[in-house]
Amino acid sequence: MRVIQSVYGFAGVLGLILAGGFTVSAQDVPDVGPHPPQPMRAMESHIGNVTGHAKDGKMNFRRYCAGCHGDLGDGNGENAQWIDPKPRDFTIATFKCRSTPTGTLPTDQDLYNSIGRGFTNSNMPIWNTFSPQQRADLVAYIKTFSARWEKEKAGDVIKIPPEPPVTLESIAHGKALFTKLECWKCHGPQGKGDGPSASTLTDSKDQPIRPYNFADGRDDSRFKCGSTNQDIYKIFMTGVDGTPMPSFADVIQPNDAWDLVHFLRTLQIHRHSKENEVLAAAHGVIPPYVEKQENNPAPAAQPENKPPSSGGH
């Protein structure tokens, strides 16, 4: 009887040890998979008055993000082969949604917003279940994957001027710019994403990419980088890095960008908007845009060269 009790006692202790071992294995013992290089310094993020720490973001990244983005943050997670569009490669630190000029790093707030917003029409969900601190920690950890964060600062946030009133003239000018800047070659004349270049487009990693279809859907939920008019203005001025969508900051003036925003809203034919109200009042007809003449003063009249008088004395 004592022998049997000893055996059962040993089995119980062994069970507790094994159970404890599984807990330790999952949480405390490093796995043997690939790991990102150790950052040169403890990376942080700053979101308002919240400071994120890379060391505190690692566990959530490995648990929720590495399956797609990979342990090295290179976009080669175990699920990546079945995903389209492909997961973001954090090692090159190129990001679509930014408030900073093209070619520059995004702000911590930009990355924080992307985590909370997710990306429609992709496998990137809305991670608003994370607390503000957890999201800030994830931002800090994401920054450990690229040496750019050690060498560069985020770009300066672009300034967004107040939006002018929506008028038929601004819509007409936006349509003229849509043609002049050849936006239709990718997005199509009606903004359906079916322009002549649409089928040839690839991203910076040579993966096929589709231009945005403005006419599809009844709301703005499919906009990846935010759905307000200010967000669309921002895209014109920052570009969408890693895609064929360039920045127009050096090409158009702020008011031009606002006119483009107003026209693009009319391409969302199922959306209730101020732009579509203005267009409906004009019976759905956008008039040709006439360039304004500069108000330069007329040149002063030149005195006539009269022949000298032939009269004598």
Q: Length of the chain in residues, anyone?
A: 313
Report how far residue 246's alpha carbon sits from residue 235's, in angstroms, rounded to the nearest whole number: 9
pLDDT attached to residue 270: 86
* CATH number for the domain running over 44-151: 1.10.760.10
pLDDT attached to residue 122: 84
What are the distances in angstroms from CA 133 to CA 48, 65, 99, 214?
A: 11, 17, 22, 35
Question: DSSP state, 142?
Answer: H
* CATH number for the domain running over 168-281: 1.10.760.10
Backbone φ and ψ of 75, nearest 5°: 80, 10
Residues of the chain with pLDDT under 70: 1-41, 217-221, 293-313
pLDDT in tens, 110-146: 999 999 998 877 889 899 899 999 999 999 999 999 9
How many CB atoms lie under 10 A from the CB of residue 77?
18
pLDDT attached to residue 22: 34
pLDDT attached to residue 130: 96
44-151 and 168-281: same fold? yes
Q: What residue has token string 């990419």?
A: 209
List the chain domain ranges.
44-151, 168-281
Torsion of CA 233, 234, 238, 242, to 10 degrees: -100
The answer, as to whether pTM is greater than 0.85, is no
